[in-house]
A and B are shown apart, each in its own frame.
Chain A
């Protein structure tokens, strides 16, 4: 459980290096925000300032990754920069599709090479289905949800879509990844290499945790902020 003191644990005056040492998942937030390494002894505020990122917003995203069960306090939501959040979400999508899934695909492909053709085929089909669903899910967010958020920001949002619908539509693509994890961990034939199973599982677990946090950012940060803006329209 996250205590109330933990909530404000991250501050813009802390050193960027200390923040990153807190939890290695934060490295993903850093790079996807376009913040480069080599920050030396700079504080979070300094590095963010140099690159035009709102430090409090960056810390809000970091908190979701650093603390399990983190619920952003209202005052931080009020201060957050929605543009930076959308930017982060978009860049995360590209990262998942262009980097994370490609790594996983490559490791899966070598992993199942020794299997007979029909097994290879069915595992590969399953993975392709997952990839396809995930990409459709992202596409919907990029074509419908994010443009709506940007329209709300610019005060010309139409009435045909509201963020509440998005919440209802927020389908769970997690189940298939969890299935893949269990299939790889529990049921692959003995001819598969142990080392390659480990490697594939490492990619799956990492992606699973990352996507979980990504969903939390959408549900607990993006949706409430847009909701509030919509009701003020």
Chain B
């Protein structure tokens, strides 16, 4: 079965071109095209079960561009590639699992998507949807009311890593607030009620 690709590309010409390439070469198929991520777009990203997202960074405003990958990670577990429709700074492109250029040959596009998917699944897919041991540890700290900095110090992690874990916890459980996570931890016997009072 071919892998599903979602395009988030404002240009219809480019979107149709990519769709054609995937059609011609098999292996991947375009299962959705969005022109931006505003409004219902985000919901669609969350609910569509795709393996790969190809996004033109120009759909994000300048300020949010550096955090795009993280924001998308909270919505989906798909691999995310950037489509370099105009030159972007290298730093902001590093967050993606791959970068496709407008001038890439069709076979290069396929190769890049394939390798992004492989690299991505080694990183995150393998852990599944249950909370990992580390995520549980961090969840317990959050439920007890610890701050990110305190959690980072306790486990010798960077704050950035703690934030990523917290985002993954929220993505998996669907629970966003600290109070909600506390209830979750208690219902799942991760903490004792005395430790939160």
Chain A 155-194 interface mask (CB, 8 Å, partner B; 1/0): 0000000000000000000011011101100111100000
Interface of A is mostly: helix
Residue pair A175, B176 in contact (C-beta under 8 Å): yes
Give the complex CA separation of A188 and B187 in angstroms: 7
Whether B40 and A68, one on each chain, are in contact in the complex, defined by CB atoms closer than 8 angstroms, is yes
Q: Is A123 an interface residue (CB 8 A)?
A: yes
A8 is an interface residue with CB less than 8 A from chain B: no
Contact A182 B175 (CB under 8 A): yes
Q: Is B39 part of the contact surface with A, judged by Cβ < 8 Å?
A: yes
Stretch in A17-25, A26-34, A93-101, A114-122 with 4+ CB within 8 Å of B: A114-122
Q: Verify if B26 is at the interface (C-beta below 8 Å from A).
A: no
Which residues from 2 to 17 on chain B have a C-beta closer than 8 Å to any C-beta of chain A? none
CB of B40 within 8 A of CB of A187, answer no
> Residues of B contacting A126 with CB < 8 Å?
179-180, 182-183
Rounded to whole Å, the gap between the CB of A70 and the closest CB of chain B is: 11
With A126-B179, A176-B179, A176-B180 as given contacts, are A119 and B187 in contact (CB-CB < 8 Å)?
A: yes
Shortest distance between the CB of A132 and any CB in chain B (Å):
11
Within 8 A of A (CB), among B140-197: 173-177, 179-180, 182-184, 186-188, 193, 196
A187 touches B177 (CB 8 A): no
Question: When chains A and B are docked, how far (Å) is the Cα of A68 from the Cα of B175?
Answer: 24
C-alpha spacing A187/B190, complex, angstroms:
13
- Alpha-carbon distance between A182 and B175 when the two chains are bound, in angstroms: 7
| B187 adjacent to A189 (CB under 8 Å) | yes
A183: contacting residue among B180, B193, B196, CB under 8 A: B180
Neighbouring A residues of B180 by C-beta, 8 Å? 126, 175-176, 179-180, 182-183
Interface size of A in residues (CB-CB distance below 8 Å): 21
Contacts of B182 in A (CB 8 A): 122, 126
B187 near A175 (CB under 8 angstroms)?
Answer: no
> At the interface, yes or no: A227 with Cβ under 8 Å from chain B?
no
Taking CB atoms and an 8 Å cut-off, the chain A residues in 180-222 that contact chain B are 180, 182-183, 186-189
Chain B residue at smallest Cβ distance from A118: B193
Interfacial chain B residues near A182, Cβ < 8 Å: 173-175, 180
Residues of A within 8 A of B179 (CB): 126, 129, 176, 179
CB distance from B137 to the nearest CB of A (A): 19
A69 on the B face (CB < 8 A): yes
- Minimum Cβ distance to chain A for residue B140 (Å): 15
Bound Cα distance A176, B176 (Å): 8
A128 to B78, CA, bound (A): 37
Nearest chain A residue, comparing its CB with the CB of B196: A122
- A200 vs chain B, min Cβ distance (A): 14
> When the two chains form their complex, are residues B39 and A69 in contact, meaning their CB atoms are under 8 A apart?
yes
Residues of chain A within 8 A of B184, CB atoms compared = 183, 187
**Which residue in A118, A129, A179 is a CB contact (below 8 Å) of B176?**
A179
Contacts of B174 in A (CB 8 A): 178-179, 182, 186
Residue of B nearest to A127 (CB): B183
Chain B, Cβ-Cβ closest to A129: B179
Of A118, A122, A186, A187, most B-chain CB atoms within 10 Å: A122
Residues of B near A1 (CB, < 8 A) are 40
A175 to B180, CA, bound (A): 9
Query: Which residues on B sit within 8 Å (CB–CB) of A119?
Result: 186-187
- Once the chains bind, are A121 and B193 in contact (CB under 8 Å)? yes
A-B contact pairs, 14 of them (CB 8 A): A68-B40, A69-B39, A122-B183, A123-B183, A126-B179, A175-B177, A176-B179, A176-B180, A179-B180, A182-B173, A182-B175, A182-B180, A183-B183, A188-B187
The 5 lowest CB-CB distance pairs between A and B, nearest first, are A179-B180, A182-B174, A118-B193, A175-B176, A187-B187
